[in-house]
């Protein structure tokens, strides 16, 4: 069974928020003493944190689905629900987080580096929090929001200063064991090294790390053999060392052909240049050539033969023997010099910036778009964080809750935007994404002009006159009323004199 895993697919989901409670307080002689429903608890969040004691992603290989704790429901007597606990996932230093499309989302370098993978949902408000002067006893509460769900690809990319590149059994593990205190597995068969091994080298006042990774073969950049697993772990390194086997028994191999094959694979591999320590492509980084196993007489002769050709290509060449430790000291100091130079040339880390994105003056917080065609029918799509969150929190089995949602949408200006977009009563409206949208036939609050839709639900601004009459208006109204009375009395007197009021029985 594998004990080292450096690439996994993680399915993370935050905890759901608890529902609010709709409750009415009951006291002695007061059966309806007011709303007292508490709020629901917030859901827990999934966080990915770097831990120096963690060296593999094996835990997520066996259990890829991770879910944070959900919040509990609110209760009566103003008791709020408990919040869900955050789920902390510990990963090795140098873990890169990508989405399923391969885009880098975060590069976690350093102890305590953190990334929020899935935020928890908000808890719903209870009816006590929804009470107001106009709605003194709400008979509903808001539902809790579901937690976020997302899939991620976690990749461990070793953090080392020097990477040893070479064919299987070229002596990379032996070189790490000879120049550091690391003790990787060493055997006389190809692909002995299946997992990266890191060794710390002390050369004078300089200290740096060397990575021993699985062997490279032609076609590794396309995934042949362990190529991708190998190349992933050298993306952060500052110096690349080509370890060439001068004592190979394979007839079609020699140090020159091995070097050309290794260089071709480095040229063909496209790494993530936007992660820490990977600003340059692999083929542009400082390189050294090590001719190994010169303790064998034939290997020493071959090394002396190919050295001029390698130096003519502008490469520094070192002849070493991991068995007799010959030539190791000059090699370690040369690597220390290159590593120190790379550290000096590295740009200083940019200070953390606080990015402010103020809201635009004409930004309503949502959009209304007409979609569809003549064949499938037209509909209006409403997108925005507030409308979509309000829809998720609404209990559509409660008519009062649906009316509260309608009031909120009207105050936000959704109906106004629908009018401007050309919507009429009965048109289909969708709030949310296509995968999880709430669909309904739109019935405007008032079917008159949109300028009269600003009043509260159940009211008509046309019937309300809030203007106070002035003193001159009152005087004019009084004069008109007195004149009307005088005219009425004069008309009655004229009718009386003309005999219209004469009793025919008395004549």
DSSP track, 401-452 = HHHHHHHHHHHHTHHHHHHHTT--TT-EEEES-SSS-EEEE---S-SS-GGG
Q: What is the pLDDT of residues 406-419, one digit of tens each?
A: 888 888 888 888 88
> What crossing angle do the helices spanning 328-345 and 172-179 adopt, rounded to 10°?
90
pLDDT band at 220 (very low <50, low <70, confident <90, very high): very low
pTM of the shown model: 0.70
Residues 6+ apart with CB under 8 A from 488: none
Query: Helix (H, G, I), strand (E, B), or coil: what is residue 329?
Result: helix
Helix crossing, 385-392 with 399-412: angle to 10°?
170
CA angle centred on 434, ends 445 and 413, rounded to 5°: 30
Q: Which two tokens stand for residue 208?
A: 């740096």
User: Which of 39-53, 215-229, 289-303, 305-319 has the weakest average pLDDT?
Assistant: 215-229
Length of the chain: 507
Place of tokens 């770097």: 50
Tell me the range of 180-184, 247-251, 369-373 where mean pLDDT is highest. Answer: 369-373
The DSSP 8-state label assigned to residue 459 in this structure reads -
Q: Is the pLDDT of residue 490 over 90?
A: no
The helix (run of H) or strand (run of E) holding residue 106 is: strand 104-108
pLDDT at 259: 85
Which pLDDT score, from 0 to 100, does residue 22 have? Answer: 92
pLDDT in tens, 432-464: 887 778 888 887 765 444 444 455 555 555 555
Q: Residue 449 has what pLDDT? A: 46
């Amino acid at each position: 069974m594998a004990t080292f895993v450096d690439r996994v697919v993680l399915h993370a989901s935050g905890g759901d928020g608890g529902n609010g409670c709709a409750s009415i307080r009951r006291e002695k002689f007061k059966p309806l003493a007011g709303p007292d429903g508490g709020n629901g608890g917030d859901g827990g969040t999934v966080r990915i944190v770097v831990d120096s004691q963690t060296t593999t992603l094996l835990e997520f290989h066996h259990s890829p689905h991770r879910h944070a704790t959900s919040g509990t429901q609110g209760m009566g007597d103003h008791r709020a629900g408990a919040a869900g606990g955050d789920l902390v996932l510990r990963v090795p230093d140098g873990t890169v987080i990508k989405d399923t499309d391969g885009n880098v989302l975060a590069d976690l370098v350093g102890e305590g580096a953190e990334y929020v993978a899935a935020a928890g949902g908000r808890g719903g408000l209870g009816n006590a929090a929804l009470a107001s002067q106009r709605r003194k006893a709400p008979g509903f509460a808001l539902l809790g929001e579901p937690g976020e769900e997302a899939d991620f690809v976690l990749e461990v990319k070793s953090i080392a200063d020097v990477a040893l590149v070479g064919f299987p059994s070229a002596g990379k593990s032996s070189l790490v064991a000879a120049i550091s205190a690391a003790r990787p597995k060493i055997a006389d068969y190809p692909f002995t090294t299946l997992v990266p091994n890191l060794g710390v080298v002390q050369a004078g006042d300089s200290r740096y790390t060397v990575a021993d990774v699985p062997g490279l073969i032609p076609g590794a950049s396309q995934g042949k053999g362990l190529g991708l697993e190998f190349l992933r772990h050298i993306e952060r390194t500052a110096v690349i060392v080509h370890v060439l086997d001068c004592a190979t028994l394979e007839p079609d191999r020699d140090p020159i052909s091995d070097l050309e094959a290794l260089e071709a694979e480095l040229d063909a591999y496209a790494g993530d240049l936007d992660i820490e320590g990977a600003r340059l492509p692999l083929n542009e980084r400082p390189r050294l050539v090590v001719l190994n196993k010169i303790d064998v007489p034939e290997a020493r002769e071959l090394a002396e033969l190919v050295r001029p050709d390698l130096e003519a290509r502008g490469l520094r060449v070192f002849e070493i023997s991991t068995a007799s430790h010959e030539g190791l000291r000059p090699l370690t100091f040369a690597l220390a010099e290159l590593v120190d130079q790379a550290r000096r040339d590295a740009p200083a880390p940019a200070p953390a910036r606080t990015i402010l994105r103020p809201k635009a003056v004409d930004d309503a917080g949502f959009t209304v778009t007409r979609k569809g065609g003549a064949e499938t029918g037209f509909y209006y799509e409403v997108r925005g964080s507030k409308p979509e969150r309000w829809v998720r929190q609404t209990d559509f089995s409660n008519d009062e809750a649906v009316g509260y949602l309608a009031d909120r949408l009207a105050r936000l200006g959704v109906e106004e935007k629908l009018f401007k977009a050309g919507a009429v009563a009965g048109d289909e409206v969708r709030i949310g994404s296509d995968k999880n949208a709430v669909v309904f036939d739109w019935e405007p609050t008032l079917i008159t002009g949109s300028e009269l839709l600003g009043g509260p639900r159940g009211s008509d601004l046309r019937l309300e006159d809030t203007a106070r009459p002035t003193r001159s208006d009152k005087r004019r109204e009084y004069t008109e009323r007195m004149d009307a009375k005088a005219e009425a009395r004069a008309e009655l007197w004229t009718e009386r004199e003309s005999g219209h009021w004469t009793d025919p029985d008395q004549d």
